[in-house]
Chain A
Amino acid sequence: MSNPEPPAVITVDGVHKIFRDFWGRPKVHALNGIHFQVRQGRVFGLLGPNGSGKSTTMKLLLGLLRPSRGSLKILNADPQDVGVKSRIGYMPEESYLYPYLSPDETLRLYGQLLGLSEHENRTRTEELLEMIGLTHARRRPVGEFSKGMARRISLAQALLNDPELILLDEPTAGLDPLGCRQFKDLILHLARRGKTIVLCSHLLADVEDVCDRIAILYNGRICADGRMRDLLQESRICRLSIRQPSPALIDELQQTIRKTTGQEAAIDHPSRSLEDLFLSAIRSAEADQTRPSGALPEGRLAPFLSGPPVSETTPPAASPP
């Protein structure tokens, strides 16, 4: 008997979002009827180029925007429901923090807004400051911090209430490689604890490292979604796997293939990289659609900057001695 599927934490059903101007005229169709579900304990990645609708989806899930059509449910409640927000943690793309508050005051403020008891608030603030490595700078105003430090406080405030659902918008932007690694370990740790995590990012390697499901958005539509493993696997090519084959068996197989095909064959299961999948999804979506509302997936060089590739006009650079 197979394990039952965990319950859906997020259900997005046919959501459209149209931004209108002051006079109510439609200006941007940011989302065009997207559907997806995120189940409990999953790490879900929302990918897409700039202007594809990732942040709009995130803000709809947080109740900061209302859908023009369709419906959203998070933790079986409407995103506008204030009560459900005590079970959510959100780390925004930019650190929308009060620059005159110190990390200590910032975390205490959000702890109070989350309704934590005084003791709980104090303890969690201490622990989070320790975790993000800012105990030494706890009294300095956040406005004096580097982007990376501010991002760490932003992350800490998202985790204050030990939320069931964590929404992370470009979480590793501005973090150093070590911070990124720590952050990814943290996400995996939280997922193991049954937390549901939704993250949107441009850093595909980060997404590949932590997400088990992804959806790729392009021009307000989902152009690919599913389990990461399924999406990256080239299903038309079959890979024979033999557990601990002897060198003699490998030689025999190579010779047989050489005889029948006349080529040296690598016996392997190839898999696409996430970048390949992302770009092919964007290209096919671009071929199907007219002009996108966001940025173009492939940057077109301005004419005054165009010129022949460096390799055609200049000899290859000399190797260092």
Chain B
Amino acid sequence: MKKIVALAVLTLRSALNSRIVLILGLLLTLVLSLFPLHLQGDGTAPGRIRILLEYTLGAIVTLLSFSIAWTACNAVAREAADRQLQLVLTKPVTRLQIWLGKWLGLIALHSAFLFTAGLILYFILLGSLPKATSPSAKDWEWAHYQVLNPTTESIASALDHRLEEARQKGQLPSKGPIPQRTVNYYSLEIRRSLATLAPTTHFAWSFELPPEADKPAAPLRLRYQFSASRWERNPVPLVWRFQSSTNVPAFVLHQTAYAEQIWELPLPPGLHPGTGPLLVTCENFATNPPTTLIFEPDQSIHLLATHHDNGLNYFRGLLVLMARLAFFAAVGLTAGCLFSTPTALFFTLFILILLSLGTSIREVAESGVFTISHEGEEIGAGAFETPILAVHRAANSILDPIQSLDVIHQLGGQERISWADVGRAWRLYVALWGGIFLLAGLAALRRREFGKPENL
């Protein structure tokens, strides 16, 4: 451990002596002093929180990602070129100790930058939130929310029935496997039809609540959005019922709401006794004119559990970002073990860009659609695109778990980041992908001959 710490301190010193760290410090100062002045938001606290965190924290993390990638590549590749690593390798130090020492040094330096800049931004945010001017503004107090999704009902039998029906109608080939893209389409269609409310009909969503949700200090909120069958901008009368079990009387809320807008309803505490699901039923009373409502599956309705430990939530967010930086350090170090500085940088930047393209890759991988015609028809992969689609799917299987940890967006949207999220981030970024890059880096370090003449 002493040797790892010695190498970590050496890496830290080396980075501090390079100009990139000086430039990084200057750029972070610029971001922290200019962004909060220019990004005002929509005048509300949530708007201010979203714009300040998404842009400023996003810029800080982007700068740190480039900086850690650069310094990590140099930490091995440059030292190998300058022959300093040769002398280190003549001492009783294992390749693992060298890799870990450098990695820890890089993480320590960039975490110091991240947490310092993050703390400054937090205080800027605290000092610049608009003051509540009316009792209703209390609804916008600075809190963060744990997003709870409804339980997904099994639609297996309905799906089988629908697919069989499509085969009989000749909409699908009578034999042979059905492409996953088509199955996904029919699944969505069924789930959409289930949550489509004709006038005077209702639909119920079931929520499994964690034990800490719906406490007096942290009441629930309902967030929902729907589409309507009519384009007229008339409000739609709705009745919401919240019932935890048959023994407890339901809490009923009447509301008129416009379509295509996000609505939030504060709920009284104590709706849920702590066990069993909470049923949320929506009844459509839009009879004049008769309007059908569509609740998009997975996106249209959530329960929000309110929490007020904002500082801790923000800290957890920074821990997730730290794991992300640790992953970039692992990529850069391994690239430095494999290649010379420019090639290593090129490789690391490619990984950074690939991660930023994750959403497009996911869309193509999941839909199997490369092209949409002028008529809106989705054109699947042809003979040429099939291998490209396979590459997209392989890339997506790697990127998807990483992409789902969009912590800056979560912090901006005042979403709760749990310790489980932090654990997941560290498991994914550090233990899994960091571990894979560590193994690759060690293999490269063992294979590489550091005493080779320069001109070879």
A contacts, CB < 8 Å to B: 19-21, 27-28, 56, 59-60, 62-66, 82-86, 88, 90, 92, 94, 96-98, 100-101, 109-110, 112-115, 157
Asked whether any CB of chain A lies closer than 8 Å to the CB of B92, the reply is yes
Q: In whole angstroms, what is the CA distance A108 to B138 when docked?
A: 59
Asked whether any CB of chain A lies closer than 8 Å to the CB of B2, the reply is yes
User: Residues of B contacting A83 with CB < 8 Å?
Assistant: 92
Asked whether any CB of chain A lies closer than 8 Å to the CB of B14, the reply is yes
User: Residues of A contacting B451 with CB < 8 Å?
Assistant: 56, 59-60, 62, 64-65
How many chain B residues sit at the interface, stated as a range, is 20 to 34
Contact across chains for A21 and B92 when beta carbons are under 8 A apart: no
Contact across chains for A112 and B6 when beta carbons are under 8 A apart: yes
Q: How far is the CB of A75 from chain B (nearest CB, A)?
A: 12
Q: Which residue from B3, B5, B84, B93 sits with its C-beta under 8 Å from A96?
A: B84
Asked whether any CB of chain A lies closer than 8 Å to the CB of B10, the reply is yes
For the complex of A and B, list the 4 residue pairs with the smallest distance between their C-beta atoms, beginning with the closest.
A64-B451, A59-B451, A112-B6, A113-B91
Given contacts A62-B451, A101-B13, contact A109 B84 (CB under 8 A): no
Contact across chains for A94 and B84 when beta carbons are under 8 A apart: no
User: Residues of A contacting B5 with CB < 8 Å?
Assistant: 112
Asked whether any CB of chain A lies closer than 8 Å to the CB of B261, the reply is no
Q: In whole angstroms, what is the CA distance A50 to B117 when docked?
A: 54
Contacts A92-B86, A115-B2 supplied; 11 other A-B pairs, CB < 8 Å: A19-B453, A62-B89, A64-B449, A82-B93, A88-B90, A94-B83, A96-B87, A98-B10, A100-B13, A101-B13, A112-B5
Asked whether any CB of chain A lies closer than 8 Å to the CB of B452, the reply is yes
Contact across chains for A110 and B14 when beta carbons are under 8 A apart: no
Nearest neighbor of A51 in chain B, beta-carbon distance: B453
Asked whether any CB of chain A lies closer than 8 Å to the CB of B394, the reply is no
Contact across chains for B91 and A114 when beta carbons are under 8 A apart: yes
Given contacts A86-B92, A92-B87, A100-B17, contact A66 B6 (CB under 8 A): no
User: Residues of B contacting A63 with CB < 8 Å?
Assistant: 89-90
Given contacts A27-B456, A82-B92, contact A109 B87 (CB under 8 A): no
User: Residues of B contacting A115 with CB < 8 Å?
Assistant: 2-3, 92
Q: In whole angstroms, what is the CA distance A92 to B85 when docked?
A: 12
Nearest neighbor of A81 in chain B, beta-carbon distance: B92
Nearest neighbor of B82 in chain A, beta-carbon distance: A96
Interface 1/0 per residue, B426-456 and A, CB below 8 Å: 0000000000000000000000011111001
Q: In whole angstroms, what is the CA distance A66 to B82 when docked?
A: 20
Nearest neighbor of A21 in chain B, beta-carbon distance: B456
Nearest neighbor of A110 in chain B, beta-carbon distance: B91
User: Residues of B contacting A157 with CB < 8 Å?
Assistant: 87
Q: In whole angstroms, what is the CA distance A2 to B451 when docked?
A: 41
Q: How far is the CB of A294 from chain B (nearest CB, A)?
A: 11
Contact across chains for A19 and B13 when beta carbons are under 8 A apart: no
Which residues of B86-113 are within 8 A (CB) of A?
86-94
Q: How far is the CB of A233 from chain B (nearest CB, A)?
A: 36
Given contacts A109-B6, A109-B10, A115-B2, contact A65 B87 (CB under 8 A): no
User: Residues of B contacting A96 with CB < 8 Å?
Assistant: 82-84, 86-87
User: Residues of B contacting A27 with CB < 8 Å?
Assistant: 456
Nearest neighbor of A112 in chain B, beta-carbon distance: B6
User: Residues of B contacting A114 with CB < 8 Å?
Assistant: 91-92
User: Residues of B contacting A66 with CB < 8 Å?
Assistant: 449
Q: In whole angstroms, what is the CA distance A65 to B448 when docked?
A: 9
User: Residues of A contacting B2 with CB < 8 Å?
Assistant: 112, 115
